[in-house]
Amino acid sequence: AYTPADLQLAIQHGELLNHYQPKVDLATGRVIGVEALVRWQHPQDGLVMPHHFVPMSEEHGLVGYLGVEVMREALRDLRRWLDAGHQLDMAVNVSLGSVSSLDYPDFLAEQAHAAGIPLHRLILEITESRLMDNPQVQLDVLTRLRLKQVKLSIDDFGTGYSGLAQLCDLPFDELKIDRGFVHGSSRNPALRAILDASLGLARELGLRTVAEGVETQEDWQLLQASGCDMAQGYFIAKPMPGSHMDDWLAAWE
């Protein structure tokens, strides 16, 4: 297991990097944006996945530091893709720690401005199960972000415990349905029922819907028929290094 000191050094040595996974419009097939997923290029252990170090960074107060690095790289890569003529949004996973800090919206605005990225191109994905730990501050921070045109996405929907009534009060733009309810829904009526209920709820609340974990043509067709807006998953592309994205985008178009 890695220690907070290991991670701190890794960040200082520039060993964190982002991979990106495309988000595609189900009706048109167009790429709407990409999601940044952090990795640690460890000098001995190779490419380390986030579950080995993101939860630890949250427990030890390092996730803000990690988040700044992920955002910096995401903004820089997005600027490059925009300059190449790709009209993309950038989704970044944000931990509760960031959303509970009243300084965060102004900090993010400065970081994006310095990178030449308009805030309406940013989507912050916040995991459902982590919402509501500190509802008052979160509502304040999320509202400030929304007023700055930053988009907000509820991640892993269906796996958390946030009250649906409270969800309506938060200023979200997008709902991402957890991959557990996506792949396999075509063969499992219970999963299909949860998927349809989630899509219906999102529609009622005016939220754009994204299905994660789209792995097969069957998944894709079912989601299209169900009226889901966007898809993400191995059927479209696995998360890839930023340097591969330029070629992938050209090939997809």
Rounded to the nearest whole angstrom, what is the least distance from the CB of residue 151 to ligand G in the complex? 15
* Tally of CB atoms within 10 A around 73: 18
The rounded distance, in Å, linking the Cα atoms of 207 and 36 is 21
233 binds, among ligand G, Na ion, none (CB under 5 to 8 A by kind): ligand G
Rounded to the nearest whole angstrom, what is the least distance from the CB of residue 91 to ligand G in the complex? 9
**By C-beta, is 105 or 213 nearer to Na ion?**
213
Residues that bind ligand G (CB under 6 A): 21, 37-38, 49-51, 54, 63, 70, 93, 95, 155-156, 179, 212-215, 233-234, 239
Position closest to ligand G via CB: 233
Q: Give the pairing of strands 89-93 and 46-48.
A: unpaired
Best CA proximity match to 106, nearest among 77, 147, 137: 147
The rounded distance, in Å, linking the Cα atoms of 88 and 97 is 27
Stretch that binds Na ion, among 15-23, 91-99, 140-148, 165-173 (CB under 5 A): 91-99
Cβ–Cβ < 8 Å for 10, 40? yes
Task: Return all residues near 114 (Cβ < 8 A) that are at least 6 apart.
Answer: none
* Tally of CB atoms within 10 A around 58: 16
**By C-beta, is 124 or 249 nearer to Na ion?**
124
Kindly state whether residue 155 participates in binding Na ion, applying the rule CB under 5 A. yes
Residue bearing tokens 């297991």: 1
Cα distances (angstroms) measured from residue 151 to each of 17, 20, 82: 23, 18, 18
Best CA proximity match to 248, nearest among 15, 19, 72, 47: 19
Rounded to the nearest whole angstrom, what is the least distance from the CB of residue 95 to ligand G in the complex? 4
**By C-beta, is 174 or 212 nearer to ligand G?**
212
**By C-beta, is 81 or 157 nearer to ligand G?**
157
Q: Give the pairing of strands 16-25 and 230-231.
A: antiparallel
Length of the chain: 253
Which of 21, 93, 95, 138 contacts Na ion by CB under 5 A?
A: 93
Binding mask 98-127 for Na ion (x = CB under 5 A): ---------------------------x--
The rounded distance, in Å, linking the Cα atoms of 239 and 143 is 30
209 binds, among Na ion, ligand G, none (CB under 5 to 8 A by kind): none
Rounded to the nearest whole angstrom, what is the least distance from the CB of residue 98 to Na ion in the complex? 14
38 binds, among Na ion, ligand G, none (CB under 5 to 8 A by kind): ligand G
**By C-beta, is 124 or 165 nearer to ligand G?**
124
Kindly state whether residue 73 participates in binding Na ion, applying the rule CB under 5 A. no
